[in-house]
Chain A
Amino acid sequence: MLKNYFKIALRNLWKNRTFTALNIVGLTAAFGVAFLLSMYAIFDLSYDRFHENTGSIFSVYANEQTPEGAESDEANPIPFAEALRNEVPGVEHIAKYVTGGVLITYKDKTLGMSSALTDPEFFQIFTFPVLEGDENNLIADKNSIALTRKAATIIFGEEPALGKTVTVQRGGMEVPVTVTAILKDIPETSDFNFSALFNFKSLPDAFYADNLDDWSAHNHSVYLKLADGVTPRQFERSTRTFSELHYADNISSAKRDGAQPNAEGNYRQIKLLPVEDQSFASIKNGVITVSKTLQYIVLGIAFLILFIASVNFINMSIAKSAQRLREIGMRKTLGAGKSQLFFQLWGESGLVFLIAVVLGSLLAVGLLKPFQTLFDTKASFGSILSLPILTAVFLVIGLITLVAGGYPSLLMSKLGTLQALKGKMQNTGKNRLRDVLMVLQFSITILLIAGTLVLWQQLEFLRHKDLGFNKEQVIAFPLNTKQDPDNIIQLLRNELSKSPEILGLTAADDNLGLGRDGRASATVLGFDFKNRQVSTNMLFVDYDYAKTLDIPILQGRSFDRSFPGDSLSVVINEAMVKELGEQDALNVQFYLDDSVKYSVIGVVKDYNFDALDMAIEPITYFMDGGSPMHYVYVKVVPQNLTDSYETVKEAWSRIEPSTLFMGSFLDENIDRTLTKERMMTTMISSGSLLAIVLSCIGLFAISLLVVTQRRKEIGIRKVVGASVSTITILLTKDFLKLVALSFFIATPIAWYFSSQWLQNYVYRINLTLWVFLGAGGIALVIALATIGVRTIQAAMQNPVDSLKTE
């Protein structure tokens, strides 16, 4: 029986090769892409969920009220953790944690490794299994080091590592430490990525020992595990007196500056961030916010694509079923039961899906490498190979086949025997279900196209936005050198001043955008000004900074070599003028460290030195001559940018041959900060591209079937005098109506979501109806092109041929 079903299924699929091929191609593409996308999303969503205590592990931060609103403070003072454990009930375990880098020497080999320093209790909170070593005595003191298996292999090769002594560099001294534990390698899905782990006390005195009772030096993260039965909300509420006691100074200065308390009336609220949300947390408007939107969008696109492909399958199966009625009827007369017929037909759909799933997996395997590179992810099949996820995948696939294959099967197996034998189905010409499904399909397509257009516009807008400085002509590069940086800058200046294509050179301690070294930092300074706390970004610059970057000076002057007193002068931007609240900016003077007086000598126009999803903040340039410069900026002539780049690179290689030149133009740096946007655009646009292709496959198949079904009608109409164009219009009209309806459904949804998303950006495009009309237009044109060819062909046929078939 099964063999018979299988045989007839294969023969049937072969007989309808066009449709089988369309279905398999569509479903394969859909499954392949859905696998990749869900892998990506699930991989991201599974970050730090492998700890046994997941659900009760939190990192501790605080929301401070400032005059500008709430601001999150992720760093805590040294006495904080112990005090919290003793004074607030509900802490089961708590550990301080800080990351860094370490130079480890074994025999004659020195290696740089990522490291973390924490309290031994760390292991009671997190699940980092110990492969070798005494679990109760892991990083008990300053002389212990715990290594991951991978790190141990790098250092010791095949030698047993446990108990060996290595030396590490600590405060300029070589300190011997003993390997007390080998840890299992940290899963890819973890925000923790240390290779070596030390006791927190191994930190330099200036960081740890000197601050044992200091509540003002905030310098590390704190993780805790809540006791069973304590909810994070409860715990956060019960920290109120704790905050009032230990942060009295902060609270009183916040009150003095006019900060408003939060909804509960607190000026400082301790908050808990679940460890599994850690990788989704970012600071938005000063406050830590967790956003998994990208992952859910990606997962959503995967499902939408599967949905579109399944709709194709359902529609084609229903449409094709008319041709199988005779077989069904015959089987019924031969004694087949309803359930037997149902399983036969469902099995056939199952077979198609099985083939598609297998081919789709192969496709996903084949595309995995480029996918990983394109989206910068380590997601692989491994990340979805867990029992619950696999079960879910099989359930979903089972459900889709049940709906996609089962529905037409049910329709047919329920049909009366005689009706079926006569090959008649109650076909009123209108197929409501098919229409609904097609409208849904096209709505999704239009939604995705509109999303792509909006994202792409926003991305282009950000890329080409005038940021207030010259990003096209300026090359920035890090001063990676063991020599004296100031000396190198001077040598570069001398070397490059000879070249006509170099227009200027300056330096600063920070880059603009994201350079090829991938480093980004910001230094924020807060000080009292006229009995008010003000805060500003600070940047140490060299001479000619504003001039080299073409940042206009609005008032006063920039730093000048002819003014020897400039080491105590600062240049500020317009936002800082506002922050200070002074009318005459050039007369402003302020004190830092209670004693050193700085005066403002100039005001520069506001420019976007920060990420593009942030408004322009206050910034203050210092030039004390002592602070090390980390980045050099060179302005070149606008012609022959590549040649100029080579000139700069050669100059660097002559002066500092031992390190690589990592320069890039500032516009490239800005582009690099838009990775997330670009990734989203790529994902959504590839998703919508696939959605378009799949919808078209479906539309094409349906139009093919409709044309066949209406062949006789077309013939008769032609015989009585219809022209090719009226017949084409007759045949396409119905489909175009559906596309138009989809447009009206999709547009408001697309509008809502894109305007929501744009709220994330301070600088954003204005949504116009044109984007959505464009999306609808694209869908319409493609739909027209898809059905047009076949329809016109049918309309042009000689009516004698079509009438003969009766």
Chain B
Amino acid sequence: MLLELKNIYKWVDQGGKRIFLLKDLSFKVEEGEFISIMGPSGSGKSTLLNVIGMLDDFQEGAYTFLDEQVHSMKDKNRSKLYKEYIGFVFQAYHLIDELTVYENIETPLLYKNVKSAERKALVADMLDRFNIVGKKDLFPSQLSGGQQQLVGVARALIAKPKLLLADEPTGNLNSAQSEEIMKLFKELNNEGVTIIQASHSESNAAYGSRIVKLLDGMVDNS
């Protein structure tokens, strides 16, 4: 088992009213799964992904990641854990505008203190694999949306994560580009990377091995 969420509650207080973002949510992920989380806007897809990705806190419940208790962990260890095992892909790509393609992909390695020679080799492999060697010195603004997301995925994968979290990875892309990314995900999953993606689209969700439906912060079992 890769991770388990048990009875997670997350809420915000707004104007004296408590609004639940996640409500008694329990969720289990095995290694090698490809999960698509679906649900309408505001159902808590992004929140769930952020919680799993340790970018966000929750108020109640237990979160176990690779047999470690995330909820009772210190910030420092948590960020170590997630630097090691988790990669993120965003709908809006979130590439750093001031860095070239090459440098964007390289950045996670810098924060992991990987040596220069090794970094070069890893980034070169990644560029090769995604067929973007020719674009390595371009800046994000010089790329199309699909290409930018490709770089985003490459960056998420460079540190060899066990888990790839993708929040609407194809939300800003046209259908051809979407399909390309989804095929890539499938391929990655076959290689052993666990993937959790949030998606609106049925066709994208179909690439997954399991679909989890969310409604108002709860898993919709209907």
Q: A745 at interface (Cβ–Cβ under 8 A)? A: no
Partner of A334, one of B56, B98, B108: B108
0/1 interface trace, chain A 446-469, chain B, CB 8 Å (1 if under): 000000000000000000000000
A330 vs B110: C-alpha distance when bound (angstroms): 14
Chain B residues whose C-beta falls within 8 Å of the C-beta of A337 in the assembled complex: 79, 111
CB within 8 Å of B: which A441-496 residues? none
CB within 8 Å of B: which A389-420 residues? 417-418
Chain A residues whose C-beta falls within 8 Å of the C-beta of B28 in the assembled complex: none
Q: B50 at interface (Cβ–Cβ under 8 A)? A: yes
Q: B4 at interface (Cβ–Cβ under 8 A)? A: no
Chain A residues whose C-beta falls within 8 Å of the C-beta of B82 in the assembled complex: 335
CB within 8 Å of B: which A320-342 residues? 326-327, 329-331, 333-337, 340
Q: B120 at interface (Cβ–Cβ under 8 A)? A: no
A334-B107, A334-B108, A418-B55 in contact; A8/B94 too (CB < 8 A)?
A: no
Residue of A nearest to B76 (CB): A337
A335-B82, A418-B56 in contact; A330/B94 too (CB < 8 A)?
A: yes
A7-B103, A330-B96, A418-B50 in contact; A335/B55 too (CB < 8 A)?
A: no
Task: Name the 5 nearest CB pairs between A and B, nearest first.
Answer: A335-B83, A335-B111, A11-B98, A334-B108, A330-B94
A333-B88, A418-B50 in contact; A327/B96 too (CB < 8 A)?
A: yes
A-B contact pairs, 18 of them (CB 8 A): A1-B110, A4-B99, A4-B103, A8-B96, A8-B98, A11-B98, A11-B99, A15-B97, A327-B96, A327-B98, A330-B95, A331-B107, A333-B94, A335-B108, A335-B111, A335-B159, A421-B55, A421-B90
A12 vs B112: C-alpha distance when bound (angstroms): 23
Contact check, A327 vs B97: say whether CB atoms are below 8 A apart: yes
Chain A residues whose C-beta falls within 8 Å of the C-beta of B23 in the assembled complex: none
Contact check, B99 vs A8: say whether CB atoms are below 8 A apart: yes
**Distance of B92 from chain A, by nearest CB (Å):** 9
User: How many A-B residue contacts, CB cutoff 8 Å?
Assistant: 54
A314 vs B45: C-alpha distance when bound (angstroms): 39
Residue of B nearest to A2 (CB): B110
Chain A contact residues: helix, strand, loop or mixed: helix
CB within 8 Å of B: which A1-32 residues? 1, 4, 7-8, 11-12, 15
Chain A CB within 10 Å, residue with most, of B82, B98, B99, B155 = B98
**Distance of A421 from chain B, by nearest CB (Å):** 7
Chain B residues whose C-beta falls within 8 Å of the C-beta of A417 in the assembled complex: 55
Partner of B107, one of A4, A326, A329: A4
A12-B98, A421-B94 in contact; A333/B155 too (CB < 8 A)?
A: no
Contact check, B55 vs A326: say whether CB atoms are below 8 A apart: no
Residue of B nearest to A422 (CB): B92
Chain B residues whose C-beta falls within 8 Å of the C-beta of A15 in the assembled complex: 97-98
A362 vs B189: C-alpha distance when bound (angstroms): 60
A7-B103, A12-B98, A327-B97 in contact; A334/B55 too (CB < 8 A)?
A: no
Contact check, A335 vs B112: say whether CB atoms are below 8 A apart: yes
Chain A CB within 10 Å, residue with most, of B83, B95, B97 = B97
A458 vs B111: C-alpha distance when bound (angstroms): 63
Contact check, B98 vs A4: say whether CB atoms are below 8 A apart: no
**Distance of B218 from chain A, by nearest CB (Å):** 22
**Distance of A759 from chain B, by nearest CB (Å):** 58
Chain A residues whose C-beta falls within 8 Å of the C-beta of B112 in the assembled complex: 335
**Distance of A153 from chain B, by nearest CB (Å):** 59
A11 vs B98: C-alpha distance when bound (angstroms): 6
CB within 8 Å of B: which A356-401 residues? none
A1 vs B53: C-alpha distance when bound (angstroms): 25
A417 vs B90: C-alpha distance when bound (angstroms): 14
CB within 8 Å of A: which B86-119 residues? 88, 90, 94-99, 103, 106-108, 110-113
**Distance of B152 from chain A, by nearest CB (Å):** 10
Chain B residues whose C-beta falls within 8 Å of the C-beta of A327 in the assembled complex: 96-98
**Distance of A749 from chain B, by nearest CB (Å):** 44
A432 vs B202: C-alpha distance when bound (angstroms): 49
Contact check, B111 vs A336: say whether CB atoms are below 8 A apart: yes
A45 vs B54: C-alpha distance when bound (angstroms): 60
**Distance of B22 from chain A, by nearest CB (Å):** 14
Residue of B nearest to A336 (CB): B111
